[in-house]
Amino acid sequence: MSDIDEYYMVVLRLVKEAGSVVREKINTPKDAMTKSCEVDLVTEWDQKVEKLLIDGISSKFPDHKFIGEEGSSLGNTVELTDAPTWIIDPIDGTMNFVHSLPHTCISIALVINKVTEIGVVYNPILEQFFTARRGQGAFLNGAPISVSGEKELRKALVMMEMGTSRDPEKMKVVLENANNLTPQVHGIRALGSAALNMCMVALGGADVSFEFGIHAWDVAAGDIIVREAGGVCIDPAGGPFDLMSRRVLCASTMELAQELAAILIQYYPERD
């Protein structure tokens, strides 16, 4: 068994365990606290799930590093080195979790030498377990998945989000993009979880997904899942994807990705 096989087995077990917590708590009342603004929420369960994952991985692999959403919001440094680093969003779609909307997930990726080796996105409410390993394909509940192959924007179903910032400049860009895109595409959808939006592209249920202002933990796992499903992940202006840039565009094909990138109004948040 390779080292990565071992990391993979450990993370699968821990993510299932974390999923039980999310499933058990989703329909209970929760006290949500705010982070960067009134709509950027965190609950005690985000913090507990992140701790469960970090403690479980650290006990097996003490030299591994972590970039976690909740640790980062408490001031832990966000630094991606060449060391094996787990990038964790314990509950992606926290707003949905708070409202008991069943589109919420655990998102975790392992990056070694700045190359993503493992991605897992688990929605324990709808039992959607997305997995990918570098070079080995992408899977939903163990069955292989692949992107739609759509190449034309006019036939595309697009995932996009309002995001969790109410900065007027950011809102303006989001609304202008929604306004411009609506008449040019089949439809626009938002699940309220960047990771699940990306998994819908991997699954072939949507054709393209983009967002400005996400963080590395929202997209690290989705990136490898989309690419292993045969899709692409780029910067929304058309260049290479940069995990720490807080910008993402993933699509079923490069043609579609570049067609959308060429017409998007751009927004450049502060980097992770």
Active site residues: 69, 89, 91-92, 94, 218
Residue 130-169 contact track with ligand IPD, rule CB under 6 A, x = bound: -------------------------------x-xx-----
Bridge pairing between strands 157-160 and 247-251: unpaired
Bridge pairing between strands 143-144 and 247-251: unpaired
Kindly tell me which residue out of 117, 150, 207, 218 binds ligand IPD, with binding defined by CB under 6 A.
218
- 189 backbone dihedrals φ, ψ, rounded to 5°: -135, 160
Residue 240: closest CA among 214, 226, 261, 212: 261
Kindly tell me which residue out of 125, 214, 221, 243 binds ligand IPD, with binding defined by CB under 6 A.
214
Kindly state the number of chain residues that form the binding site for ligand IPD, as judged by CB under 6 A.
Answer: 16
Q: Which is nearer to ligand IPD, 235 or 255 (CB)?
A: 235
Q: Which is nearer to ligand IPD, 89 or 150 (CB)?
A: 89
C-alpha 260: how far from its chain's center? Answer: 20
Kindly tell me which residue out of 18, 54, 157, 194 binds ligand IPD, with binding defined by CB under 6 A.
194
Q: Which stretch binds ligand IPD (CB under 6 A): 13-21, 76-84, 91-99, 146-154?
A: 91-99
User: What CA–CA distances, in Å, run from 268 to 106, 148, 161, 235?
Assistant: 26, 29, 16, 11
Please tell me whether residue 119 binds ligand IPD under the rule CB under 6 A: no
Min dist CB 89 to ligand IPD, Å, is 5
Q: Which is nearer to ligand IPD, 117 or 161 (CB)?
A: 161
User: What CA–CA distances, in Å, run from 132 to 223, 224, 242?
Assistant: 10, 6, 19
Please tell me whether residue 213 binds ligand IPD under the rule CB under 6 A: yes
Q: Which is nearer to ligand IPD, 28 or 59 (CB)?
A: 28
- Give the contacts of 81 (CB within 8 A, at least 6 positions apart): 65
- Number of other CB atoms surrounding residue 223 within 10 Å: 26
Cβ atoms of residues 69 and 48 within 8 Å: no
Residue 48-77 contact track with ligand IPD, rule CB under 6 A, x = bound: ---------------------x--------
Query: Which chain residues interact with ligand IPD by CB under 6 A?
Result: 69, 89, 92-95, 161, 163-164, 192-194, 211, 213-214, 218
